């Protein structure tokens, strides 16, 4: 027995991308990216001649998705009319009265599986389950569990559909296709049967790296142990990249921008989204203009946000030992910073310390 799967989940079609809402056109472009990513996923299904397509929840955003996007999804699934597309609802696309899963006329190859549902693919002797079964599975089949929820995490009140890996393995499942978390899991569990492709298109800076889907081949002799060969395929349109750039020694924003541009080029592409943190120590009186740098580099990325965490090049420990005004001021401010309630408050105190030292040394402050 042998079956080839395309597995993905957590596409979140029509996600609002609220973090980009202050940039005209960017949220719409990202929503278009999601559609292009789905098209590439179906390209994979066609090119790889997948026997089954498994969609592990959160295909779309229940509160935001319109009929036109659902029709687009249906058109994409219709590209593989002879391939069963098996979907389990997630927490963002629940099957509710009046929902698209309940009311929309999906193509004949699309099957919405709920807990207790079993889809049998007879050409390869495969059973795909929409939820855990009470008893053991039949070892004469390739038994696949689809699950959208948490795996082997504390079963807290806010955990979504938590399951135990051991429980899944004890029931004899050969493969568990997971969704819900947007990071990749490969060969998880004691038997290495748990796979989560993560989000095929990243949705924020907490989802770094390449994103895509699994092409998985499962082989099994009746009653024997299944062998799994899962290959991860990248399909994402863009990546979210965090960079910390040391601009020590730069004398102006122009020099810093050139340095940042080189770091961005090495780390990603112009189509990516970047969040840059400036670090390092600068000569007293030198300031980095994050807005000026952003304007200079606006064509170097789809999205760019710059945070300035540089510090003036003061030896605070040495200054704090001085007996004069600088020493007294520095000691007092360092004490306040150490007693600050949180990191943000401590940062504000340190900023005031540097401005104060600049005022003492230069007679003025450059802001």
Query: What is the number of H-type helices and E-type strands within the chain?
Result: 9, 17
Task: Return d(Cα 364, Cα 367) in angstroms, integer.
Answer: 10
Q: If you ran DSSP here, which 8-state letter would residue 122 be given?
A: G
| Short-list 117, 183, 173, CA closest to 141 | 173
Burial (CB count <10 Å: 0-12, 13-18, 19+), residue 86: buried
Q: Which long-range contacts (CB under 8 A, 24 or more apart) does 322-330 make?
A: 325/360, 326/357, 326/360, 326/361, 329/353, 329/356, 329/357, 329/360, 330/357
Interstrand relation of 212-219 and 227-234 (parallel, antiparallel or unpaired): antiparallel
- pLDDT at residue number 66: 94
Task: Return d(Cα 245, Cα 329) in angstroms, integer.
Answer: 30
- pLDDT at residue number 135: 86
Neighbours of 139 (CB within 10 A): 16
- Residue 353 has which token pair? 């310390």
What element of type H or E holds 261? helix 253-267
- pLDDT at residue number 155: 52
Regions of the chain with pLDDT less than 50:
none
**pLDDT, tens only, 179-195:** 999 999 999 888 999 99
- pLDDT at residue number 51: 99
For residue 16, give the 3-state DSSP assignment: coil
For residue 327, give the 3-state DSSP assignment: helix
Interstrand relation of 118-121 and 126-129 (parallel, antiparallel or unpaired): antiparallel
* All domains of the chain in start order, with CATH: 2-234 (3.60.21.10), 240-362 (no CATH)
- pLDDT at residue number 153: 60
């Amino acid at each position: 027995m042998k079956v080839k799967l395309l597995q993905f989940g957590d596409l979140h079609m029509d996600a609002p991308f609220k973090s980009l809402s202050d940039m005209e056109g960017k949220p719409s472009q990202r929503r278009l990216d999601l559609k292009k990513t789905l098209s590439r996923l179906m390209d994979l299904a066609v090119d790889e001649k997948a026997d089954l397509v498994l969609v592990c929840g959160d295909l779309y955003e229940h509160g935001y998705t319109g009929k036109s996007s659902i029709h687009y999804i249906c058109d994409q699934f219709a590209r593989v009319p002879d391939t069963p597309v098996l979907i389990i609802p997630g927490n963002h696309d629940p099957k509710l009265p009046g929902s698209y899963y309940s009311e929309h006329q999906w193509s004949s190859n699309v099957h919405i599986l709920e807990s207790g549902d079993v889809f049998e693919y007879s050409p390869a002797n495969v059973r795909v389950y929409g939820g855990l079964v009470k008893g053991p599975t039949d070892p004469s089949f390739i038994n696949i569990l689809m699950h959208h929820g948490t795996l082997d995490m504390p079963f807290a009140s806010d955990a979504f559909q938590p399951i135990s890996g051991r429980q899944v393995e004890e029931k004899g499942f050969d493969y568990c296709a997971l969704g819900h978390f947007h990071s990749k899991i490969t060969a998880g569990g004691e038997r290495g049967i748990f796979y989560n492709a993560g989000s095929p298109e990243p949705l924020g800076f907490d989802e770094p790296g390449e994103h895509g889907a699994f092409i998985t081949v499962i082989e099994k002799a009746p009653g024997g142990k299944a062998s799994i060969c899962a290959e991860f395929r990248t399909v994402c349109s863009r990546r979210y990249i965090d960079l910390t750039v040391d601009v020590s020694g730069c004398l102006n924003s122009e020099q810093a921008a050139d340095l940042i541009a080189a770091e961005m080029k090495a780390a990603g592409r112009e189509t990516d989204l970047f969040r840059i943190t400036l670090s390092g120590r600068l000569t007293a009186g030198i300031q980095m203009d994050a807005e000026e740098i952003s304007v200079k580099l606006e064509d170097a990325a789809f999205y760019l946000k710059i945070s300035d965490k540089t510090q003036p090049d003061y030896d605070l420990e040495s200054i704090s030992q001085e007996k004069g005004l600088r020493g007294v001021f520095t000691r007092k401010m360092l004490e306040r910073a150490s007693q600050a309630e949180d990191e943000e408050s401590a940062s504000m105190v340190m900023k005031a310390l540097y401005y104060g030292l600049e005022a003492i040394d230069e007679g003025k402050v450059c802001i």
